[in-house]
Amino acid sequence: MCLLLFLVHLPNMRIGIMQTAERLTELRRILAEVCNIRNAMSLLHWDQETYMPVKAAPGRGEQLATLASIEHRTFTDPKVGSLLAELGESELSPDDVKLVEVMQYDYDRATKLPEAFVSTFTKETSEALEVWSQARKESNFSIFQPKLERLLDLLKEKAELYGYEESPYDALLEEFEPGMTAGQLRPIFSDLAERQSALVERIVASGNQPDAAWTRAEWDEEAQWKFTLNVLRDIGYDFDAGRQDKSVHPFTTDFGLYDVRVTTRVDPHDLFSALTGSIHEGGHALYEQGQNPGDQRTPLAQGTSLGMHESQSRMWENVIGRSQPFWRHYAPIMRDRFPGRLQNVTAEQMYAAINRVEPSFIRVEADECTYNLHIIIRFEIEVDLMEGRLAVADVPEAWNAKVQSYLGLDVEDDANGCLQDIHWSHGAIGYFPTYALGNLYAAQLFETIEESIPDIWTSVESGQFTPLLEWLRENVHRHGRRKKALEILRDATGKEPSSEPFMRYLEKKYGALYGLSD
C-alpha cells in the first residue's frame, strides 16, 4: 500500500521539482536582464563623472531616465512577484533560499515606487550632478539650491512611498544600511563626538605635532598617478578586471564581477591625496572583485551594506595605508618616484605626516581622529532637512555653524563647505552615516585579523598583502548579501558590534604618535 501511494505521487513530485527548477530559471533570467540594464546605467554614470562633455548632460539625463524606467518596469512586473511567492513555498537549496529572500526584500521596496517617480528622480539627479559641479566650481551654493530643493521634495515623497515608523530619514537610511535608524545612530554618534573631540584636544595640547612642512610643495602629478597604480596592484586589485581614472570626487563602480572601476583625484599640492583616494576606492573594489562568481547577475553579488563596504575601504586606507609598517615598505619606492625630493625624509616622517591630526574643512582629506565629526555634521543636517526643521536655503549657515562647533573652524567658502561632497546631487541622503559605521566595523574586524594572522604587520612591512586579502575574502567578501552586516561582524569576530575597538585603535595609535599619557 505504501509503495502504491509512492508510485501514485511520484509523477506529481517530478512535476513539482520541474516547476521549481523552471521558476528559478525564469527568475534568474529576469534578474540577469535587470542586472544588464543596471550595469548599462552604471557605465553611463561612470562616463558622466569622468569623460562626458558638459553639454551632453541633458541628453544623458534622458538616457538614464529611460533605462531606469525599463529596469523598474522589468523588476516590478507582477510576474516577478508571482515567481517569488511560488518559490517561497517550494523546497529550495540554501543558496536559492537566500536568493529568493533577498530578492523578495528588494521587490517589496521597488514595488512601492511608481515607474513615473523612478524616471523623474533619475532625470533630476542626473541634471543635479552637473549643476552641483558648476556650483562647486564657482563656490556658490545658490546655483545648486533650486536643484537640492527639488531633490529634497522628491526624497520626502520617496520616504512616504517606502513608509517608516519614526523618521522619514529612516526610509532613506534603509537603502544604504538595512535595519539601521536615526534613533539608533544618535547615541552612537553622540558618544563618538564626545570621545573623539576629547582625544583631539589632548593631541593639540600635547604640542607634539609632526613636521609636515616638507609635504607642502608641488608634486608631479604623473609620478603620483604611477605610485597609486603601483599600490593598487600590490594590495590585490585586478587591473584585468578593472581600471583607474580621474574624477572630481573619487568613487568606485562596477558593471559586473570582471569590470570593477575606481577613480581618484590628483592634487599637485597634496602628496597623499591621490594615494589615499586610490587605496580607499581600491578597498571598495576588492570587495566587489571578491564576490562569489556563481552569484553573478543576481542581488547576492553585492556588498551587504554600505557600512560593511566602507569597512573595507577604511581598513585598507587607514588601518593599512596609514600604518608604520606600510610606510617602512613604501618609503624607498616613493623616493624613487620623486627623485631628489625625499632623500632626507624617513619612513617614520612619512608615517607621522600622513597621520597628522589637524581639524580641516574637507571630509575626504580629514585625519582619522576628526573624520567622524565630518559625518556627524552631515547626518544632523540631513535629518533636519528630512524632518522639516531646516530649509535648503539655510544649509550653508547651518553647515558653517556646525563646523565651528565640532571642528573649531570658520568655513572659507561654499566649495570648502556644504558643496564639497557629490552625494546630495545623487539624491543620496542617508548615505553619510555608513562612513562612520565603516570605521567602527573595520576596527572590530581588524582586532580579530590581528589574532588570526599574528604576523600580519610583518607581511605588510614586506609588501605582502595576500594574507589579509584572503582573510577578507573568506570572512566578508564571498558572502555578498547572504548575510547582513551585523551577522558578518558577529560571525567573523565572535562579538557583538561595538564602537570600543575603534576607540582603542585611535587611542593606541595616536597616543604613541603624540606621546600622550594614559
Does residue 22 sit in the same domain as residue 157? Answer: yes
Compute CA distances 378 → 176, 229, 375, 399, 428, whole Å: 15, 32, 5, 8, 12
281 in active site? yes
In a domain, 170, yes or no: no
Above 90 in pLDDT, residue 504?
Answer: yes
| Contact residues for 508 (Cβ-Cβ < 8 A; gap 6+) | none
In a domain, 169, yes or no: no
Rounded to a whole number of angstroms, the distance between the first and last alpha carbons of the chain is 80
Cα(486)–Cα(495) distance, integer angstroms: 10
Does residue 106 sit in the same domain as residue 247? Answer: no
Q: Model confidence at 248, in pLDDT bands (50, 70, 90)? A: confident
Helix (H, G, I), strand (E, B) or coil at 345: coil
* Percent of the chain's residues with pLDDT above 90: 91
| Contact residues for 465 (Cβ-Cβ < 8 A; gap 6+) | 234, 235, 236, 320, 459
From 49, 177, 281, 288, active-site residue: 281
Above 60 in pLDDT, residue 8?
Answer: no
Q: Model confidence at 1, in pLDDT bands (50, 70, 90)? A: very low
Please tell me the predicted confidence (pLDDT) of residue 518: 63
Residue 99 structural domain: 13-163
Q: In the chain, how many domains are there?
A: 2
The tens digit of pLDDT for each residue in 449-495 reads: 999 999 999 999 999 999 999 999 999 999 999 999 999 999 999 99
- Which CATH number belongs to the domain containing residue 388 in this structure? 1.10.1370.30
In a domain, 434, yes or no: yes
The tens digit of pLDDT for each residue in 204-234 reads: 999 898 888 899 899 999 999 999 999 999 9
In a domain, 79, yes or no: yes
In a domain, 204, yes or no: yes
Does residue 154 sit in the same domain as residue 263? Answer: no
Please tell me the predicted confidence (pLDDT) of residue 213: 86
Does residue 133 sit in the same domain as residue 195? Answer: no
In a domain, 149, yes or no: yes
The tens digit of pLDDT for each residue in 273-328 reads: 999 999 999 999 999 999 999 999 999 999 999 999 999 999 999 999 999 999 99
| Contact residues for 309 (Cβ-Cβ < 8 A; gap 6+) | 284, 287, 303, 434, 438
For residue 266, give the C-alpha cell.
590628483
The tens digit of pLDDT for each residue in 388-412 reads: 999 999 999 999 999 999 999 999 9
In a domain, 279, yes or no: yes
The amino acid that residue 330 corresponds to is: Y
Does residue 129 sit in the same domain as residue 256? Answer: no
Does residue 330 sit in the same domain as residue 286? Answer: yes
The tens digit of pLDDT for each residue in 341-374 reads: 999 999 999 999 999 999 999 998 899 999 999 9
Cα(84)–Cα(88) distance, integer angstroms: 6
Cβ-based burial of 7 (10 A; exposed 0-12, middle 13-18, buried ≥19) = exposed
Q: Model confidence at 334, in pLDDT bands (50, 70, 90)? A: very high
The tens digit of pLDDT for each residue in 121-160 reads: 999 999 999 999 999 999 999 999 999 999 999 999 999 9
Above 80 in pLDDT, residue 17?
Answer: no
Please tell me the predicted confidence (pLDDT) of residue 211: 85
Provide φ and ψ at 259, rounded to 5°: -150, 80
How many other C-beta atoms lie within 10 A of the C-beta of residue 506? 20
pTM score of the predicted model: 0.89
Please tell me the predicted confidence (pLDDT) of residue 270: 92
Cα(139)–Cα(412) distance, integer angstroms: 10
- Which CATH number belongs to the domain containing residue 44 in this structure? 1.20.58
Please tell me the predicted confidence (pLDDT) of residue 426: 93
Please tell me the predicted confidence (pLDDT) of residue 7: 35
Q: Model confidence at 9, in pLDDT bands (50, 70, 90)? A: very low
Which of 109, 135, 163 is at the close of a domain? Answer: 163
Above 60 in pLDDT, residue 11?
Answer: no
The tens digit of pLDDT for each residue in 419-446 reads: 999 999 999 999 999 999 999 999 999 9
Does residue 200 sit in the same domain as residue 113? Answer: no
| Contact residues for 323 (Cβ-Cβ < 8 A; gap 6+) | 351, 457, 460
Please tell me the predicted confidence (pLDDT) of residue 22: 93
Single out the residue of 348, 300, 319, 357 nearest to residue 477, CA to CA. Answer: 300
Q: Could you tell me the maximum CA-CA distance found in the chain, to the nearest angstrom?
A: 92
Cα(395)–Cα(385) distance, integer angstroms: 9
Does residue 144 sit in the same domain as residue 210? Answer: no
> Would you say 237 and 282 are in contact if contact means Cβ atoms under 8 Å apart?
yes
Whole-number mean pLDDT of the chain?
93
Does residue 296 sit in the same domain as residue 379? Answer: yes
The tens digit of pLDDT for each residue in 41-80 reads: 999 999 998 999 989 989 998 999 999 999 999 999 999 9
- Antiparallel, parallel or unpaired: β 252-254 and 260-264: antiparallel
Please tell me the predicted confidence (pLDDT) of residue 24: 94
The tens digit of pLDDT for each residue in 94-129 reads: 999 999 999 999 999 999 999 999 999 999 999 999
Single out the residue of 128, 30, 126, 130 nearest to residue 80, CA to CA. Answer: 30
| Contact residues for 497 (Cβ-Cβ < 8 A; gap 6+) | 440, 441, 444, 486, 489, 490
In a domain, 382, yes or no: yes
